[in-house]
A and B are shown apart, each in its own frame.
Chain A
Amino acid sequence: MSGNIKEELKKFIVDNYLLGSDSLNLKDDDSFLEKGIIDSIGVIELTSFIQRKYDIKVKVPEIIPENLDTLNNLEAYIERKLKSSK
């Protein structure tokens, strides 16, 4: 499950923000903010994607780098949300 989430997220990021090619060699702990991968419009798309894909609700206080800014953070955040919804 965990591997799948990260792969799905990476595919979304690569397809939508890196032109479909991982030329940046995106690592699991690379900051989207520091690498300039996602901007403020992108974060709206990203939160919409994870809400739709994993059927979770992203709450306002949760839109912070600790939850969304790396593949690792995103994966951990989604897993926490899925666990708490069970």
Chain B
Amino acid sequence: MIPSLYQIVSKAARAYPDKPAVIEPGKSITYKEFDEKIDSMAGHILAMGFKKGERAGILAKNSADSLAAYLAVTKAGGVSVWLNHTLSLSETVRQAKDCSLAFIYAGKGFEAKSGSIMADARSIRFVMDEAQARASLTAKRFPKIKSEGLASVVYTAGTTRRALGVMLSHKNLISNAAAVVKYARLKPSDSVVCVLPLYHIYGLSVAISHLLAGGTVMIDNRFMYPNLILDTIEKYRATGFAGVSSHYAMLLYMSDMPKRKLPSLRYLMQAGDRMPENITKRLVSLFPGKKLYLMYGQTEASPRIAYLDPGSARKKPGSIGRAIPGVTIKVVNESGRECREGKAGEIAVKGDNVMIGYWKNRRETRKVLKKGWLYTGDIAFKDKEGDLFIAGRRKGFVKIGGNKVNPAEIENVVLGIEGVMEAAAIGAKDPVLGERLKLFVTLVPGAKITSAEIKKICRSELPTYKVPQEVAILKDIPKNSFGKIAREELSKRS
């Protein structure tokens, strides 16, 4: 196995120097050029005094440059932390402080925000913008990297009110990407259109697995206009597309996809949330000759855990299939015993893909990592053929357009608003987003705040996907006999 992330590109550069590694609308970079870019950036990073094991933030939209920066940090012996650029400044500062970033790579348009983060997070010694990153500075020697060494910290919603930093090693990410290459039979001739943000583990996994196969990653950040993505697929004869269920809902209902044949497309990949069965059925019936991979995973598993064999998508549209190569899955009850067929229990996972732990959080790590098994918090059952079906989520997360959201985080923000007495955020079914956030609040007597004002404050404190689509002010919030908010009752009302 290739021992470190950047060597994926070096190896492909030797095998296919003139083949495009990354394509963006209007420009393309070959593997040789991409490898040289990573080398040069890593040299620059070391020349700035960066030390092995330090963390570096990537604050940028998807691009060949930002992906190169992510890999260059690891070549310089560091740990890449791809920051979610849609987060508020205060949340980004909190993450920067949490993992003591040494520097930030600021993509186009993020220079000022990076400067503001640096002003607040004292560990940050410098900001490297795109122009500085282009300065050619190769190092004579790069640090030695162990495959078990920490490569990346990826922040994800946890059971706490704050995001948790998932520590992933080179081995975690590469072994998982290798499994994707194997089951999806990815080849150097493959090219995937990547609309998923690379700060999300799913987007990163799509990029790494296609680079590992020697294929091409086609970055297109214009998904708000889905027809443009279809144009990209046709223009560059892409063989693959990867998205969350809301991408497919938008392609089916807000684009010309049903009218286009998309002959170059060999496979469609879905993960990040639960695919509604009607979307799966529609895709299978529109594109019977294309392979639809319905996949399941979580950041803590780097991320892929299971996939449904494309041949079963029509027969079992609600299933997430079986374990990917190199991963073992068991479904366990509360006593830790394996459940019988048809009996629901928690999915536990073992394999080289299981994270090292949560950054600086042993307590949360101990809750999910037990004797080498990762306890996912997802509830599922196996059918008689061994295929898995998700039955629920133990941790009560909501999935909006593929983004995992902890309702407690939204409630925390809303409870800080003057005049709000109680708050409960729940997930309600949505035909496009999978789930949408609905917020219920009660006000302190005499308070005059409106739903629109609450929504406005949410917009200022939270990234778009975490802003409740609906805010309802109630006289009282239903409670159970223990005085806890009765979320099921609220779900019935929505």
Q: Do A and B bind each other?
A: yes
Q: Once the chains are docked, how many angstroms separate the CA of A60 from the CA of B222? A: 16
A45-70 near B? 1/0 per residue, CB < 8 Å: 00100000000000011011100110
Given known contacts A33-B224, A36-B109, A60-B253, A41 and B456 CB-to-CB distance under 8 angstroms:
no
Residue of B nearest to A38 (CB): B224
Residue of A nearest to B456 (CB): A20
Query: What chain B residues lie within 8 Å of A68 (beta carbons)?
Result: 225
Q: Is A7 an interface residue (CB 8 A)?
A: no
CB distance from A20 to the nearest CB of B (A): 6
Query: What chain B residues lie within 8 Å of A63 (beta carbons)?
Result: 225-227, 254-255
CB distance from A43 to the nearest CB of B (A): 4
Q: Once the chains are docked, how many angstroms separate the CA of A19 from the CA of B458? A: 9
Residue of A nearest to B109 (CB): A36
Q: Is A44 an interface residue (CB 8 A)?
A: yes
A interface size (C-beta, 8 A): 23
Given known contacts A15-B456, A60-B253, A42 and B224 CB-to-CB distance under 8 angstroms:
yes
Q: Is B489 an interface residue (CB 8 A)?
A: no
Q: Are A40 and B250 in contact (CB under 8 A)?
A: yes
Query: What chain B residues lie within 8 Å of A16 (beta carbons)?
Result: 459
Q: Once the chains are docked, how many angstroms separate the CA of A6 from the CA of B432? A: 28
B390-404 near A? 1/0 per residue, CB < 8 Å: 000000000011000
Q: Once the chains are docked, how many angstroms separate the CA of A17 from the CA of B86? A: 12
Across the interface, A64 reaches (CB within 8 A) one of B225, B459, B460, B464, namely B225
B222-263 near A? 1/0 per residue, CB < 8 Å: 111111100000000000000000110010011110000000
Q: Is A8 an interface residue (CB 8 A)?
A: no
Query: What chain A residues lie within 8 Å of B86 (beta carbons)?
Result: 39
Q: Are B224 and A60 in contact (CB under 8 A)?
A: no
Question: Can you list 25 A-B contacts with CB-CB less than 8 angstroms, sorted by A residue number?
Answer: A16-B459, A19-B460, A36-B61, A36-B109, A38-B224, A39-B86, A40-B223, A40-B226, A40-B246, A40-B247, A41-B401, A41-B433, A41-B464, A43-B224, A44-B432, A44-B433, A47-B254, A60-B254, A60-B256, A61-B227, A61-B256, A64-B227, A64-B228, A65-B222, A65-B228
Q: Once the chains are docked, how many angstroms separate the CA of A61 from the CA of B246? A: 18
CB distance from A7 to the nearest CB of B (A): 18
Question: Using a CB-CB cutoff of 8 Å, which residues 12-48 of chain A contact chain B?
Answer: 15-17, 19-20, 32-33, 36, 38-44, 47
Residue of A nearest to B249 (CB): A44
Query: What chain A residues lie within 8 Å of B223 (beta carbons)?
Result: 40
Query: What chain B residues lie within 8 Å of A43 (beta carbons)?
Result: 224-225
Q: Which residues of A approach B to under 8 Å, CB–CB? A: 15-17, 19-20, 32-33, 36, 38-44, 47, 60-61, 63-65, 68-69
Q: Is B465 an interface residue (CB 8 A)?
A: yes
Question: Using a CB-CB cutoff of 8 Å, which residues 27-41 of chain B contact chain A?
Answer: none
CB distance from A49 to the nearest CB of B (A): 13
CB distance from A47 to the nearest CB of B (A): 8
Query: What chain A residues lie within 8 Å of B61 (beta carbons)?
Result: 36
B207-226 near A? 1/0 per residue, CB < 8 Å: 00000000000000011111
Question: Using a CB-CB cutoff of 8 Å, which residues 174-228 of chain B contact chain A?
Answer: 222-228
Q: Are B222 and A33 in contact (CB under 8 A)?
A: yes
Residue of B nearest to A18 (CB): B459
Query: What chain A residues lie within 8 Å of B246 (beta carbons)?
Result: 40-41
* A-B pairs with lowest CB-CB distance, top 3: A43-B224, A40-B224, A19-B460
CB distance from A69 to the nearest CB of B (A): 8
Query: What chain B residues lie within 8 Å of A47 (beta carbons)?
Result: 254
Q: Once the chains are docked, how many angstroms separate the CA of A18 from the CA of B432? A: 24
In the complex, besides A41-B400, A64-B227, 18 extra interface pairs with C-beta distance below 8 angstroms are A16-B459, A17-B464, A19-B459, A36-B109, A39-B224, A39-B464, A40-B224, A40-B246, A40-B250, A41-B246, A42-B224, A44-B433, A47-B254, A61-B256, A63-B226, A65-B222, A65-B225, A65-B228
Residue of B nearest to A21 (CB): B460
Across the interface, B456 reaches (CB within 8 A) one of A19, A44, A69, namely A19
B362-402 near A? 1/0 per residue, CB < 8 Å: 00000000000000000000000000000000000000110
Q: Are B401 and A60 in contact (CB under 8 A)?
A: no
Q: Once the chains are docked, how many angstroms separate the CA of A51 from the CA of B37? A: 46
Question: Using a CB-CB cutoff of 8 Å, which residues 444-468 of chain B contact chain A?
Answer: 456, 459-460, 464-465
Query: What chain A residues lie within 8 Å of B226 (beta carbons)?
Result: 40, 63
Q: Are A42 and B464 in contact (CB under 8 A)?
A: yes
